[in-house]
Amino acid sequence: MTVGQSSVFTSDYRKAKISAANIFRLLDRRSREAEVTGSEIRDFQGNVAFAAVHFHYPGRPEARVLRGLSLEVKSGQKVALVGASGCGKSTSVQLLERFYDVTRGAIHVDGRDVTSVDRHWLRRQMALVSQEPTLFSGTIRENIAYGARDVTFDAIVRSAQMANVHDFVQSLPSQYETRVGARGAQLSGGQKQRIAIARALIRDPRILLLDEATSALDTASEECVQMALEEAAKGRTCLVIAHRMSTVRSADVICVLERGAVVESGSHEQLMQRKGVYFRLNSL
């Protein structure tokens, strides 16, 4: 299987970095070797808590990214992270997925320290939708089914419906057998993103991670993807990172990050009344 050309061979460092993370994620999901380093959680509810997390990237102790980050996402809640570029939002998501471990403090899922939970199992409970969707050369059906075990065609269609992309796929001459990728159909950013959302949903993850999932889209496709994401988040724990303030308004709790820590948190209304950092971000 080859990797979609547009998403990897880009000169843009940031995009390349995001794509690389996606690929590792997918490779990891594929690797079936049973490296059991912890246990699984029975009846997993998807509660997430960061407790005074400190973190710097390996070998970069001078560049402290997180400095005492604490936040809680209760099962089924939607919590938004907002803050300036570089304040540690994406890093927090990577720590939850255990691509790195915290330097100090802890991250808990259902009250268990993530370091005591099997890493591969934990990742199967989560799905990430990021800014740059990675589609592979293959059919739309294969792209949606990717990373899931024993999927039926019905399940693929259900995920596509939830992701608001089923009608579009049906309108294509070869429908779910349409090839995408380097020599396949040319899809818009929004169409690709909705296929990526369908892929995220096929495993029915307890935790949905959205990292600037609509940031690269124009306003028209943003709306369509936003609707898909609202539907996707229903009944799941959702951690959403968004650039545009309008996308986080509906979150149960909004956490404002500055220099690696939460400086304000509350609902949109509460934070607007406070007339602090969030209020200022909204009046930009």
Ligand X SMILES: Nc1ncnc2c1ncn2[C@@H]1O[C@H](COP(=O)(O)OP(=O)(O)O)[C@@H](O)[C@H]1O
User: Considering CB distances under 5 to 8 angstroms, the limit depending on partner class, which of Mg ion, ligand X, none binds residue 85?
Assistant: ligand X
Between 195 and 253, name the residue whose CB sits nearer to ligand X.
253
Among ligand X, Mg ion, none, what binds residue 88 when CB lies within 5 to 8 Å by partner kind? Answer: ligand X
Binding status of residue 60 toward ligand X by CB under 6 A:
yes
Q: What is the DSSP string of the chain?
A: -PBPHHHHS-S-HHHHHHHHHHHHHHHHHH-------SB--TT----EEEEEEEEE-TT-TTSEEEEEEEEEE-TT-EEEEE-STTSSHHHHHHHHTTSS--SEEEEEETTEEGGGB-HHHHHHTEEEEESS--PBSEEHHHHHHTT-SS--HHHHHHHHHHTT-HHHHHHSTTGGG-EESTTSB---HHHHHHHHHHHHHHT--SEEEEESTTTTS-HHHHHHHHHHHHHHHTTSEEEEE-SSGGGTTT-SEEEEEETTEEEEEE-HHHHHHHTSHHHHHHT-
Among Mg ion, ligand X, none, what does residue 209 contact (CB within 5–8 Å per kind)? Answer: none
Q: How far apart are CA 38 and CA 278, in angstroms?
A: 39
Among Mg ion, ligand X, none, residue 91 binds (CB under 5-8 Å by kind) = ligand X
Taking the complex as a whole, the smallest distance from the CB of residue 86 to ligand X amounts, in Å, to 4
- In the complex, minimum distance from the CB of residue 25 to ligand X, in angstroms, rounded to a whole number: 14
Side chain identity at 258, as an amino acid letter? E
- Distance between CA atoms of residues 76 and 203, nearest Å: 17
283 CB-near residues (< 8 Å, 6+ apart): none
Stretch of 44-52, 80-88, 145-153, 231-239 contacting ligand X, by CB under 6 A: 80-88
Stretch that binds ligand X, among 85-93, 116-124, 231-239, 246-254 (CB under 6 A): 85-93
Report how far apart the first and last C-alpha atoms of the chain are (Å, whole number). Answer: 44
Among Mg ion, ligand X, none, the one that 57 touches (CB under a kind-dependent 5 to 8 A) is ligand X
Provide, rounded to whole angstroms, the least separation between the CB of residue 191 and ligand X: 25
Report the residue number, 103 or 137, with the smaller CB distance to ligand X: 103
**Could you say whether residue 86 binds ligand X (CB under 6 A)?**
yes
Judged by CB under 6 A, the residue of 9, 24, 57, 153 near ligand X is 57
User: Quick check: 55 binds ligand X (CB under 6 A)?
Assistant: no
88 binds ligand X (CB under 6 A): yes
Instruction: Determine if 89 is a binding residue for ligand X (CB under 6 A).
Output: yes
- Considering the complex, what minimum distance in angstroms separates the CB of residue 90 from ligand X? 3
Contact segment (CB under 6 A) with ligand X among 70-78, 88-96, 143-151, 170-178 equals: 88-96
Q: Are strands 78-82 and 253-258 parallel, antiparallel or unpaired?
A: parallel
Point out which residues bind Mg ion (CB under 5 A): 89-90
110 or 258: CB nearest ligand X: 258
65 is a contact residue toward ligand X (CB under 6 A)? yes
Q: Which residues contact ligand X by CB under 6 A?
A: 57, 60, 65, 85-91
